Amino acid sequence: MEREAVLVAIDVGTSKVCALIGEVSRDGRLTIMGHGTVETSGLRKGVVVNIDQTVRSIADAVERAERLSGWKIDRAFVGVGGQHVESLNSTGQVAVTAHHREVMREDISRAIEVARAVSIPSNRDVLHVERRGFTVDGQEGVKDPLGMSALRLEVEAHIVSASATAVQNLTKCVQLAGVKIDELVVNGLASSEAVLTETEKELGVAVADVGAGTIDLTLFSEGSPFHTAVLPVGGNNVTNDVAIGVKTTLQVAEQLKVKHGTCDLRDLQDEEISVAVLGEDAGRTVSREELCQIIESRMRETFELLRTEMSRSGHGMLPAGIILTGGAAQLAGTAELGRDVLQMPVRVSGPTGISGLIDTIQDPSYATAVGLLRWGANSVAMGDPSHYEAAPAGGLGRIRSAFRSIFP
């Protein structure tokens, strides 16, 4: 296998920081060589609230991935989350200027620049301008107009922006942990890279990455994203409700949720669970039915919020339904409840199409991290950015100098 590049992903989430090191082969296959996951408390709902704790978590995760893989991490693709992430769609139209009236790369770039020039407040950073499709002299649905004869070229672009201060704080944390940033990628777009097929993107599909503090939602149709949003709810909301309802600590509530919880209230046996209770030595028992009713009602509310956000996007049909990923999507009965509330196909999926250290990495909670590697691999394939120089033919490949093997 000829090596094209070694890439790094850092997913800085509400409850954990994950660093992944992956090797991309010439044929685009992704092999996981190292991973490090560390619990963190420096973020709230996907946004940095404590710089020192976040830096320490990133540095620890990076160190673990380095130890496992034998590579030194110098730069990475980094995920951006939080409710401040917003999107809009914009069009840009230009006249084709070449004397032979043929669409050139410059025309495409100019059209994208016009689309990008929508008024976005100065306190926001544009992170992505995704090309949705082109219209050439009124002919819609053109994927790549390069070389076509035309007088006018129009592009529709999906623009994703984020709060400039939230982005600056995240950037500062990554840099203080000793890592340069290749690219900042919105979590929802990254997760989609890990769990979606091209067919699903063409048909129309939604991806909801349900994390501890937020849900990253991305909607696709005709092969490209048209709505990106972050909802400020997640697995922690369910845990909090359990803690209040059962009168116990958050740690015990989380254990109860994971071990005994389900969103499916059918066929629940009359089962009693013993629980340590705040301020009481003896503890007590709760019925599993009572526990699961708390969980089901909060998850139902979460799906109703998702439904509202999806209808707000103005989407028509999403024939491929919604794919749930992320750590909090693994709660038993989640897909069934989702189908009931959303009235569309729902399935839970982890990252696909990877090899190497995959025992844990195929877990849905790694979707964003694996997706960041995929995003990086696509950048390599497109010959962009410049520092991913593919190696001279015949050699093992010129891995960018950022990586020095720890071992001789």
Kindly tell me if the per-residue pLDDT of 406 is higher than 60. Answer: no
**Percentage of the chain lying above the pLDDT 70 cut:** 91
Residue 160: CB atoms within 10 A of its CB come to 24
Cα torsion 160, 166, 170, 175 to 10°: value is 100
Kindly tell me if the per-residue pLDDT of 397 is higher than 50. Answer: no
Q: Are strands 354-356 and 30-39 parallel, antiparallel or unpaired?
A: parallel
pLDDT tens profile 58-97: 999 999 999 999 989 999 999 999 999 999 999 999 999 8
Q: What is the mean pLDDT of residues 32-43?
A: 92
User: Where do runs of H (alpha helix) occur along 205-329?
Assistant: 235-246, 250-260, 288-312
Task: Determine the pLDDT at residue 331.
Answer: 94
Whether the CB-CB separation of 106 and 147 falls below 8 Å is answered with no
More confident residue, 41 or 389: 41
Q: Is residue 356 within a helix (H) or strand (E), and if so which, with residue range?
A: strand 354-356
Handedness of CA 170, 176, 179, 182 (dihedral sign): positive
Kindly tell me if the per-residue pLDDT of 130 is higher than 70. Answer: yes
Whether the CB-CB separation of 68 and 34 falls below 8 Å is answered with yes
pLDDT tens profile 302-343: 999 999 999 988 877 899 999 999 999 999 999 999 999 999
Q: What is the mean pLDDT of residues 127-145?
A: 92
Residue among 82, 54, 81, 70 at smallest CA distance from 179: 54
The DSSP call for residue 332 is B
Task: Determine the pLDDT at residue 398.
Answer: 29
Q: Is residue 30 within a helix (H) or strand (E), and if so which, with residue range?
A: strand 30-39
Task: Determine the pLDDT at residue 378.
Answer: 87
Task: Determine the pLDDT at residue 315.
Answer: 75
Give the pLDDT band (50/70/90) at residue 392: very low
Q: What is the mean pLDDT of residues 272-285?
A: 77
Rg (CA), the chain: 23
- HSE-up of 27 (CA within 13 Å, CB side)? 4
Whether the CB-CB separation of 277 and 308 falls below 8 Å is answered with no
Task: Determine the pLDDT at residue 53.
Answer: 95
Residue with tokens 């950022």: 402
Instruction: Tell me the three-class secondary structure of 75-124, residue by residue.
Output: EEEEEECCCCCEEEEEEEEEECCCCCCECCHHHHHHHHHHHHCCCCCCCE
Whether the CB-CB separation of 31 and 46 falls below 8 Å is answered with no
Q: What is the mean pLDDT of residues 9-32?
A: 91
Residue with tokens 């769609």: 89
Task: Determine the pLDDT at residue 207.
Answer: 97
Residue 276 Cα distances to 147, 255, 270, 287, 331, angstroms: 70, 11, 20, 14, 22
Kindly tell me if the per-residue pLDDT of 16 is higher than 90. Answer: yes
Q: What is the mean pLDDT of residues 182-198?
A: 95
Task: Determine the pLDDT at residue 388.
Answer: 33
Task: Determine the pLDDT at residue 2.
Answer: 56
Phi, psi at residue 303, to the nearest 5°?
A: -65, -35
Domains in the chain, CATH or no CATH each? 86-163 (3.30.1490.110)
Q: What is the mean pLDDT of residues 148-156?
A: 94
Q: What is the mean pLDDT of residues 148-177?
A: 95
**Percentage of the chain lying above the pLDDT 90 cut:** 73
Directed axis angle between helix 187-195 and helix 367-381, to 10°? 80
Average pLDDT, the chain: 88
More confident residue, 390 or 206: 206
Q: What is the mean pLDDT of residues 120-145?
A: 92
Task: Determine the pLDDT at residue 3.
Answer: 60
Question: SS3 for 160?
Answer: strand
pTM for the predicted model, two decimal places: 0.89
